[in-house]
Amino acid sequence: MNNEENIKYTREKTMTINNILNSNFVNNFLSVYAIWLREFKVYLRERSRLVGSLFTPLLWLFIVGSGIGSSTTLSIDVNYQKFIFPGIISMSIIFTSVFYGAYIIWDRKFDFLKSVMVAPISRETIFIGKTLGGMTNSMIQVFMLLVIGLFIGIEYSLVSILQIMFVSVILSFLLTALGLGLGSRMHSLEGFQMIVTFVVFPLFFLSGALYPLDNLPDWLLFLTFIDPATYAVDALRNSTVGIATYSFGFDLLLLFCSAIITTLFGMLSFRKMRAV
Amino acid sequence: MITLKNLTKKFDKIVAVDSVSLDILEGEVFGLLGQNGAGKTTIIHMLATLLKPTSGTAQINGYDIIKDSSKVRKNIGIVFQAPSSDDMLTGFENLKIHSYLYGVPSELRVNRINDLLKLVGLYKRKDDIVKKYSGGMRRRLEIARGLLHKPKVIFLDEPTLGLDPNSRKSMWDYIQKLVKEEKITIILTTHYMEEADTLCDRIGFINKGKIIAIDTPQQLKLMIKSNNNNDDINTGKYVGDIIKLHFKVTGDKDIQLNNSHILTKNIEILKSFKFVKKIEQKKESENKNLVLILHVDDINHNLPIILKSVDNVESIEFSQPTLDDVFYTFTQGKIAEEPEGGFMERYAQYDKK
C-alpha cells in the first residue's frame, strides 16, 4: 500500500468514525448525557443539599431507631435499628427522588428549563436525562448509607450488595419519574408542598419501612400493596437482614411494573408540559 | 428569512397576538417594540416553537414552526428575558452542555466554545462559576450560548434589561460585531428606544397584539412629523423639529426698547419662511433673555438659513423627535391606523372623555 492510499484509507476511516459520532443515536445519547451531567455537577457542588439529605436518614436510624428500639420487641429475631435500616435506605430514596423530580416546578419558574426545551431534542430525551440525574443523586446517598450500615452491624456479601444496588436503582428511577411527572403538571410553587404531603409521606409510611407487614389490619395491608416502595423495602430487608414477606423475584417484578407505569406517566406529562 | 402569516395566539379570551403578518429579511436586525403586554414575547415564544399558535403560522429559513419545529430549533438561537444559564456551572461548562444538546460536531466543540467566549469577552473567566459573573457577563454568556450551533436567526428578548449604561454600550458593540462577523438575522425586543435606534434596521410597533407600523427608525420619525396637524401645534401635542433662539439683552431700559424692535423685525423675517410652522415668544424671567420658540420642518436644512437671516442671536437650542416620541405617538393612540372599532379608536374616544 503506497502512501497516498494510506492517507485515503485513514481519511475514510476517520470520516466513518465522525459519521458515527454525529449520528442521530449518538446525538440523543449525548443529549441525555448532557442533561445528566448538568444535574450531577450541580448536585456535587451544592454541598449543603448533600449534607442535609444525609442527615435526615441518620436521625431516623439513630434517634428513632434507638429510641423505639429500646422499648419495642419485634416478633422477629433482629434488633429494631437493623430492622429499619433497609426502610431508611428506601426513605432516603423516596425523599431524594421525589423531591428531585418535583424540583422541576422551580426549574420551570426560572428560565433554565426553557433553554433546554428550545434545543432540538425531544421531551423524552430531557425526561430520561433528568430521571437518570435524580437516580444518580439517590444512589450516591445509598452508597453512603451502606457504609453507615457497617457501623450498626449489617453484614454484606457480594450478592447482597448487587441486590441492594439493583433494587435501589429501580426504586429511584421509578420515583424520580413519578416526581417529574407530577411536578411538570404543577403550575405554582405551592404544588411542591402538595406533593410532599400527599405523595412523599404516604409512600414512606405505607412502605413498611418502620413496621413489619405480618400483623397489619386488612385495610392497612391493602394500602401497603399499592405502594411500590413496599416491595423495595421488602427486597432490601431480604438482602440486608434476611427477613422478607414476599420472594425477591416477586418484589422485583412489581418494582419493574411500577417503574414502567411511572415512566410512561412521566414521559406523557413531559410531552404535554407547556414550555412557557 | 422569517415569514409570519396571520400568526395568532389567544390565552383563554385574551388575544395576545392578533393575526400578525410580517416578513423579515436575511441579515436584518429587526426590532419589536411595544408596551408591556403588547405581545412581543409571545411572538418570540411562538417563533421559537415554545408556544403553539392558536391559528396562522410562520416559517423560519423555509421551515414551518408547527410542522418542522425540530428543524426550526436547529436554525435559531434565543436569549431569554431572564438569565437561563446554570449558575452552579462555569461559563465553559454551560456552553459545553448546550453544545451536546445541539449536536455540535465533536471535533469542533472545544474550539467553537473558546472562539465564542472570546467574541463575547468571557474567555478569561470561562472557568468561573456563573454565580460569580456580573449581570452583563451573564447576558453575554447567553448570547454565546445562543450562537453555539451557528443559527441563521437569533432572538434577543430585551438583551440589555437591567444593565448599567456601560454594559449596555458594550452589549451593543457585541451585537453590532455579531451582525458584521456572523451575518445572522436578529430579532430583538426592547423598551429602550435609543437601543432600537442604534441597532435596528427596521422596527415593528406592536399594540394590543397587532403590528401598527413597520419601517426604518428614520422613516418612523419622519412619519410622526408629517402626521402633525394645525391643532397639535396649538394644543402642545406637536411632535417635530423645534428651535429655541435666545437673543442678546442688556440691562439698559433704552436698549430694551431697541431689543423689542429687533425682535419684531426678526419675527417678521421668520414669518416669511414657509418652513416655519409656528413662532412662540417667551420671556425667561431669570436672565431677562428674549426667547423665540420655532416649530420648523426639516431642521437639518433650514437651521442654517434661519441663522443667516436673523440678527442678534446669542445662543440656540434645538431638538428633533426621537424614537421615544414615535413610541408615545403610536402607543398613545394619536395615530389610529385601525379600522373603526379597533383598540386605537376606542382608546382615542376614551381619551376624549
Q: Is residue B52 part of a domain?
A: yes
Same domain, B203 and B245: no
Distance (Å, rounded) from C-alpha A250 to C-alpha A244?
A: 11
Provide the ipTM. 0.81
pLDDT band, residue A48 (cuts 50/70/90): confident
**What single-letter amino acid sits at A75?**
S
> Which of A31, A45, A120 faces B88 most closely, judged by CB atoms?
A45
Tens digits of residue pLDDT in B89-145: 999 999 999 999 998 988 899 999 999 898 888 999 999 999 999 888 898 899 889
Nearest residue of chain B to residue A110 (CA atoms) = B84
How many A-B residue pairs are in contact by the CB < 8 A criterion?
82
pLDDT at A11: 64
Domain range for residue B293?
241-319
Domain count, chain B: 3
Over residues A184-193, the mean pLDDT reads: 86
Same domain, B34 and B180: yes
Over residues B321-330, the mean pLDDT reads: 81
Q: Is residue B95 part of a domain?
A: yes
Task: Give the Å distances, CA to CA, from A130 to A76, A113, A127, A175, B344.
Answer: 40, 11, 5, 12, 48
Tell if the CB–CB gap between A275 and B45 is shorter than 8 Å. yes
Residues ≥6 apart with Cβ < 8 Å to B55: B6, B8
Q: Please tell me the least confidently modeled range out of B67-76, B97-106, B270-279.
A: B270-279
Q: Is residue B257 part of a domain?
A: yes
Nearest residue of chain B to residue A121 (CA atoms) = B101
With CA atoms as reference, report the closest residue to B312 among B243, B245, B244, B242.
Answer: B245
Report the relative pairing of strands B185-189 and B153-157 from DSSP bridges.
Answer: parallel
Same domain, B310 and B343: no
pLDDT at B279: 82
List own/partner pairs for B165-168 with CB under 8 A and 24 or more apart: B167/B134, B167/B135, B167/B136, B167/B139, B168/B192, B168/B195
Nearest residue of chain A to residue B75 (CA atoms) = A120
Mutate to test the interface with A, among B97, B104, B142 (most CBs of A within 10 A): B97
Same domain, B137 and B259: no
Same domain, B208 and B246: no
Distance (Å, rounded) from C-alpha B352 to C-alpha B346?
A: 10
Report the relative pairing of strands B202-207 and B185-189 from DSSP bridges.
Answer: unpaired
Domain ranges for chain A, please list them: 34-272
Please give the grid coordinates belonging to residue B212.
Answer: 401598527
Contacts of A33 in chain B (CB under 8 A): 100
CA-based Rg of chain B, rounded to a whole angstrom?
A: 26
pLDDT at A3: 65
Tens digits of residue pLDDT in A140-155: 999 999 999 999 889 9
Q: Does B71 touch chain A (CB under 8 A)?
A: yes
Distance (Å, rounded) from C-alpha A133 to C-alpha A39?
A: 5
Distance (Å, rounded) from C-alpha B306 to C-alpha B114?
A: 57
Task: Please identify which residue in the block is written with the cell numbers 436578529.
Answer: B186
Distance (Å, rounded) from C-alpha A81 to C-alpha A75?
A: 14
Beta carbons within 10 angstroms of residue A61's beta carbon? 24
Contacts of A110 in chain B (CB under 8 A): 82, 84
Contact B132, B89 (CB under 8 A): no
Q: Does B49 touch chain A (CB under 8 A)?
A: yes
Same domain, B110 and B194: yes
Of A23-37, A86-100, B79-93, B247-261, where does the model show the most confidence?
A: A86-100
Tell if the CB–CB gap between B97 and A119 is shorter than 8 Å. no
pLDDT at B59: 94
CA atoms within 13 Å, Cβ hemisphere of B171:
25
Mutate to test the interface with B, among A11, A27, A32, A38 (most CBs of B within 10 A): A38
Q: Which helix (H) or strand (E) holds A44?
A: helix A24-45
Q: Is residue B180 part of a domain?
A: yes
The residue among B215, B230, B256 that closes a domain is: B215
Distance (Å, rounded) from C-alpha B351 to C-alpha B332?
A: 9
- Does the pLDDT at position A6 exceed 50? yes
User: Please, is B114 exposed, middle or buried when counting C-beta atoms within 10 Å of its C-beta (0-12, 13-18, 19+)?
Assistant: middle
- Does the pLDDT at position B186 exceed 90? yes
Over residues B34-56, the mean pLDDT reads: 90
Same domain, B292 and B332: no
pLDDT band, residue B4 (cuts 50/70/90): very high
pLDDT at B348: 45
Contacts of A119 in chain B (CB under 8 A): 73, 98, 101-102
Same domain, B180 and B274: no
B88 Cα to chain A: minimum distance (Å): 6
Q: Please tell me the least confidently modeled range out of A94-103, B87-96, B112-121, B230-239.
A: B230-239
Q: What percent of chain A has pLDDT over 70?
A: 90
Q: Which helix (H) or strand (E) holds B14?
A: strand B14-24
Distance (Å, rounded) from C-alpha B167 to C-alpha A77?
A: 70
A103 Cα to chain B: minimum distance (Å): 15
A218 Cα to chain B: minimum distance (Å): 48
Direct distance between the N- and C-terminal alpha carbons of chain A, in angstroms, rounded to an integer: 60
Same domain, B203 and B148: yes
Higher confidence at residue B50 or residue B286? B50
Contacts of B145 in chain A (CB under 8 A): 115
Please give the grid coordinates belonging to residue B338.
Answer: 385601525
Tell if the CB–CB gap between B100 and A31 is shorter than 8 Å. yes
Contacts of B70 in chain A (CB under 8 A): 120
Direct distance between the N- and C-terminal alpha carbons of chain B, in angstroms, rounded to an integer: 45
Residues ≥6 apart with Cβ < 8 Å to B67: none
pLDDT band, residue A95 (cuts 50/70/90): very high
Distance (Å, rounded) from C-alpha A82 to C-alpha A208?
A: 14
Same domain, B79 and B106: yes
Same domain, B109 and B198: yes
- Mean pLDDT for chain A? 88
Question: CATH code at B297?
Answer: 3.30.70.100
> Which of A38, A120, A274 faces B102 most closely, judged by CB atoms?
A120
pLDDT at A86: 95
Question: CATH code at B81?
Answer: 3.40.50.300
Task: Please identify which residue in the block is written with the cell numbers 444593565.
Answer: B163
Same domain, B185 and B299: no
> Which of A33, A38, A276 faces B89 most closely, judged by CB atoms?
A38
Nearest residue of chain A to residue B42 (CA atoms) = A276
Q: Does A46 touch chain B (CB under 8 A)?
A: yes
Q: Please tell me the least confidently modeled range out of A9-13, A168-172, B116-120, B182-186.
A: A9-13
- Mean pLDDT for chain B? 82
